[in-house]
Amino acid sequence: MKDYVKLDEWSIIVDELNSSHNEIAESIFSIGNGFMGQRANFEEHYSGNSLQGSYIGGVYYPDKTRVGWWKNGYPEYFAKILNSTNWIGINIYIDGELFDLNNCKVNQFERKLNMYDGILSRKAIVTLSNGKKIELQSKRFISIVDTDLGAIEFTIVPLNFNGTIELLPYLDGDVVNSDSNYDENFWEEIDVKVDNHFSYVYNKTKKTGFEVCTGMKYQLLVNNQPVQAKVDLLKKENYAGHKLSIEAKEKQHITLYKYAVVESSLYHNSDDLVTIAETKINQYFSKGFDKLKENHSNAWHKKWEESDIKIGGDISAQQAIRFNIFQLYQTYTGENENLNIGPKGYTGEKYGGVTYWDTEAYCLPFYMRTSEPHVARNLLKYRYNHLQKAIENAKLLGFNHGAALYPMVTINGEECHNEWEITFEEIHRNGAIAYAIYNYIEYTGDTSYMAEYGLEVLIGISRFWSQRVNWSKNKQKYVLLGVTGPNEYENNVNNNWYTLKLIYWTLNYTKKQIEQLSTNNSLNKIFKKIAFDDKAEIEQWDHIITNLYLPEDELRGVFLQQDGFLDKELIPVEELPSSERPIYQKWSWDRILRSCYIKQADVLQGLYLFEKDFDKDTIKRNFDFYEPLTVHESSLSPCVHSILASKIGYHDKAYEMYLRTARLDLDNINNDTEDGLHITSMGGTWMSIVEGFAGLRTIEGTLSLSPSIPLHWDFYEFMIVFRGIKLNIRVEKEHVLINNHSDKKIQLILHEVTHQIEPNQSNSLSIKKEPISLPK
């Protein structure tokens, strides 16, 4: 465990400035509101390690693919959410000298993210090379109420001198992405305006033509009284700045309030962007920083009332789960069906900020159980809106007749991943999207989604599966050749069990949905729209279902990850020297591919999704075989193992894996937090408690719980929404307390016993369970 942050139930706190850790801190302290986000860069100039990042959801650039050997079917570009105009900038000059925390003595430093209020703050006391002492304080937020607004309170105090202090609030659109394939600048200027009342940088993306106007307004105060300073207006390409000069006295508090708005052509007519930006910023300016902050914080308080998880007796676990929930809500709100959840959210550039299958597998369960129904529905509708692109993507790879292959990586429905073993082979992503439709309807009861959107997607995916398998004369079975499963530490394998299981399930589920909609008037319309020959196509699906090959080792009683897995040298991870971990940083790719080591749950991912199909002994045998070979070098790995470990009674392993996923970024466990946070795996952290420790499931439309509790926890408590019913569930050592916050009664299964919870009533139910012991 790396002690980057102090333990605190509601805040993330770092109390020293370490340049070598600064990019890690910039990721951890990132803020956002689902529409835009900002890494925790310092407002003022800083010459130490830093990755500047200000991102706008949906604004992207198609960065030309860079590969050594072009293959037919390769995407032409990798889409990237762009680093956009830096709106936080406030440089400081002390008697003409540029202030830089990296070049002075830092006597005191604290950076704090108050998650309850949604406020990022910083305080530093420093000594300059000439002996002058400065106190610096800042607070900032990106509003979750006014989603185009960012605001900063920035205070400088000269502690032992009188002198000239200059503050330079600015907007800088001359920014780049650090991961640009060809070192391109992705923005070009449309207009820049600088005056004393309102300044802006108005630019647009090359190729895609997204237009963004970033506006700025400020107010200067000395000892809380507004003052007029000498102002120099600074204007250059893609840059607008104001240099404010104050003759400061010792101990005076010089405070700059800076307001910024970000308006884009995603939401407004391009011709109106400047007018909208000026109108909005004047409205926000008139309200003032404190009122805007109050509105923002109150909105966060409401979110916490709906989604907080409380843990008694374990401050490390408490801080971690709140951090995960906080970052999930900063990344996605569900208000725009054209936005989705990138693996890094708005906290860094790795993975381009675009959509992977992680959304359906790890994020959907969180949003559908904690948010209003439209939030999860919009996550699914995002894929429906891209169905035609998925069909086009399949055509590029040689499939036809409406077969749909959803992209591994996308922002607009087109595949933009450029590693062949992923682009062409990691097709299990289709199954995650199909399963998400089932998962959503099963939990929410929103059966209308199937006829409106779901069935078309399922048929497109099923058509792809029916063409992707082939008949093996040798096996007299349908087989699946040349694929990559969730374990990306082996590529181009034959008969990945997890993907085959998804094929088997999807074809069955799609058939069942067609049968259930047989009396629905919309069914024939769907068939006509997609030219579906129900008799012939379903007959083919039946033949595949009946004759699909699912590899299994009968001697060990386990499902085989792929045909050749047992040909590998099976050496448990615990026998690897620590000096060789993580293997993706220490080993050659050739050595990794030939090894038995598993990056993340593969067979176990299938057992997690389809646990109803298997008894506990089967799950246990497979867990015992595969987990010791798993290096957990994907952020998505620990949560699945934690949930399964809870299921089979491995309570020490469940807690170990929970803490690993929960504190993955806070403790930089995978040594990559500087690239950005692992946002999608944070949904898995929430699942580890709710599906793992609490054992939450939906069984034929009824909520079911099988709770356990870590030995050193006093309790844990969470809120969920189930089919319009809000429940507060508190698990203690001997009891489960369930509070029904709605006017509907609900039936609930607790350890296989059905209970009825009346409207607006609380029930205390006795349970028998084993406390979870701590790992040794």
Contact criterion met (CB below 8 Å) for 358 and 341: yes
- Side chain identity, residue 526: I
**Distance, CA of 304 to CA of 321 (rounded, Å):** 12
Backbone angles phi, psi at 90, to 5 degrees: -145, 95
Q: Specify burial of residue 499 (Cβ count, 10 A radius: 0-12, 13-18, 19+).
A: buried
Please report the sign of the dihedral spanned by the C-alpha atoms of residue 139, residue 141, residue 146, residue 147: positive
Kind plus residue range of the DSSP H or E element containing 328: helix 315-331
Backbone angles phi, psi at 699, to 5 degrees: -115, 105
Residue with tokens 């050997």: 69
**Distance, CA of 400 to CA of 398 (rounded, Å):** 7
Please report the sign of the dihedral spanned by the C-alpha atoms of residue 594, residue 597, residue 600, residue 601: positive
Contact criterion met (CB below 8 Å) for 229 and 220: yes
Residue tagged active-site, from 456, 488, 633, 674:
488
Residue with tokens 């609930």: 748
- Quick one: tokens of 47? 């010459």
Please report the sign of the dihedral spanned by the C-alpha atoms of residue 35, residue 41, residue 45, residue 48: negative
Q: What is the DSSP letter of 355?
A: B
Cα separation of the two ends of the chain: 15
Annotation marks residue 488 as catalytic: yes
- Quick one: tokens of 2? 């790396």
Contact criterion met (CB below 8 Å) for 757 and 763: yes
Q: Which residues of 289-312 are buried (b: 16+ CB within 10 A; e: fewer)?
A: beebbeebbeebeebbeebbbebb
Residue with tokens 């333990």: 7
The CA-CA-CA angle for residues 669, 341, 455, to 5°, reads 130
- Quick one: tokens of 611? 């646990």
The CA distances from residue 25 to 436, 676, 706, in Å, are 34, 10, 38
Task: Please list the active-site residues.
Answer: 488
